[in-house]
Amino acid sequence: MPSGVRGRPRSEGSRQRILAATRDLLLESGYDQLSIAAIADAAGVGRQTLYRWWPSKASIVAECVIENVLPLRTVVADPERPALECLRAWLGESRRRLAMPDQLALFRALTAAAASDETARLRLDALFGGAIRHSLRSALERGVESGELRADLPIETVADLLIGGMLYRLVRADEEAGDAVEDTLKLLAP
């Protein structure tokens, strides 16, 4: 019974080293300064190996995110805890992350990647529109059911607004004033 695979197989070690090198360089110097040649050199890998497997710089970065190589473990709402508490935790934790220079730079890099490259946009949207939006949505639904949140809450729209609010902080230059977390929750309360 013949196998369908001929020739030397793809090197998993190289792939891992490429993702690790991308992560390091991205955290060091940001998305714009990241070059494919530098990734290849840092990973000890031929340049063609990168071009063979990824169509663009942005998609390598996106794969780093998907593979959890980049420290982007998003706060996922815990289905056991009350909805309001979940949302408060997500809002607060997100804000804390964006106050850390490393994480801020990283998120900005991802935003730049998504804004300029179609492939990266698709992959990143799969993450944010998938994992994050789903967990937010479920927390909102639980809140509505339990009466913690307004009964007429437009779930989809609110989830979009919450994620957008995070995003807006990335491209803002100044610091935010006031207790945005509680203000946001007030909006959702009955």
Which residue bears the tokens 């809450």?
Answer: 153
Residue 52 or 73: the one with the smaller Cβ distance to DNA is: 52
Q: Which does 31 bind (CB under 5 to 8 A by kind): its own copies, DNA, none?
A: its own copies
46 sits near DNA (criterion: CB under 7 A): yes
3-state helix, strand, coil in the chain (%, to 5): 70, 0, 30
183 sits near its own copies (criterion: CB under 8 A): yes
Cβ-count burial of 1 within 10 angstroms (0-12 exposed, 13-18 middle, 19+ buried)? exposed
Q: How far apart are CA 53 and CA 62, in angstroms?
A: 13
Q: How far apart are CA 156 and CA 137, in angstroms?
A: 7
176 sits near its own copies (criterion: CB under 8 A): yes
20 sits near DNA (criterion: CB under 7 A): no
Residue 56 or 138: the one with the smaller Cβ distance to its own copies is: 56
Stretch that binds DNA, among 39-47, 67-75, 125-133, 182-190 (CB under 7 A): 39-47
Please select the residue that binds its own copies; options are 124, 132, 139, 149, rule is CB under 8 A. 124
Residues 51-80 that bind DNA (CB under 7 A): 51-53, 56-57
165 sits near its own copies (criterion: CB under 8 A): yes
Distances (CA, A) of 145 to 149, 186, 188: 8, 17, 13
Please select the residue that binds DNA; options are 49, 111, 119, 138, rule is CB under 7 A. 49
Q: What are phi and psi of 73, to 5 degrees?
A: -45, 100
Q: How far apart are CA 54 and CA 29, in angstroms?
A: 21
- Interacting residues with its own copies (CB under 8 A): 30-32, 108-109, 111-112, 114-118, 121-122, 124-126, 129, 152-154, 156-158, 160-174, 176-178, 180, 183-184, 186-188
